[in-house]
Amino acid sequence: MAAQNTAIVTGAGTGVGKSVAITLLKTGWNVALCGRRKRLLDDAISSAGKTEGRALAVACDITKPNQVDHLFAETTREFGHLDLLFNNAGMSYKSTPIDEIPVEVWNDVVGVNLTGSFLCARAAFGIMRHQKPMGGRIVNNGSVSAYAPRPGSVPYTATKHAITGLTKTLALDGRPFDIACGQIDIGNALTEMAVPMTVGVPQANGTIAPEAVMDVQRVADAVLHMASLPLDANVLFMTVMATKMPFVGRG
């Protein structure tokens, strides 16, 4: 992968975003790492070691339109253009019946997972549509929750279903501008967020049980594959999951 390719990765300070950002850097991409805490972004860059690509850390709350605009302006100022947005940043909430979920929690989850993804996709689309050469790729982080919910996950599951609609529409609207859009749906990648799955999480039958997990590097490798395709090809949806997790069973 040539070093002139440029990506923005949101939620890049931890978990999936950090793994993807480091993998892109090591394969020659220039990467703008976005997250609310710059210290974590700097730590992620340091942990990557010497890489073929250049890194830029930009503190950004993706729910704030002015901060998103600043992120994309800084990226294009530093690197000149944009080839990839990995729309990764997201949040969840503990398993809770809908009538016990505070409205503030709903607003927070929608704000990050959906509005934040919209704002970043909006900024990326505008740059990719008008840059020369025209085009680029947007990869949205969905979830297996975009297909099947976990118990008590109304805010998270609703937003991930909405991300699927965002992906399909951008894939359609991007055609005239050589903008490809796809979605990666991840199941049980072993990040800090997923550690409880190794101990026990609520199941559809009312029990608490541990679940199989996979190395988060498998996700980064999958995103790299999606990002490395020529723009005349697109992975519209990819599910990468721990082989033995309870997703395709009857529940």
- Give CA–CA dist 142/206, Å, rounded: 25
Q: Which helix (H) or strand (E) holds 224?
A: helix 217-228
CA end-to-end span of the chain, whole Å? Answer: 42
Whether omega before 230 lies within 30 degrees of 0, making that bond cis, reads: no
- Give CA–CA dist 145/161, Å, rounded: 7
Residue 56 in 3-state DSSP?
A: strand
Nearest Cα neighbor of 89 from 129, 77, 99, 67 is 67
**Sign of dihedral through CA atoms 26, 32, 36, 39?**
positive
To 5 degrees, how large is the angle CA 228–CA 233–CA 234?
Answer: 80
Catalytic choice (118, 125, 156, 247): 156
Q: Would residue 156 show up in a list of annotated catalytic residues for this protein?
A: yes
DSSP 112: I
- In the structure, how many helices (H) and strands (E) does the chain have? 7, 11
- CB count within 10 Å of CB 150 equals 18
- Give CA–CA dist 77/97, Å, rounded: 46
Active site residues per annotation: 156
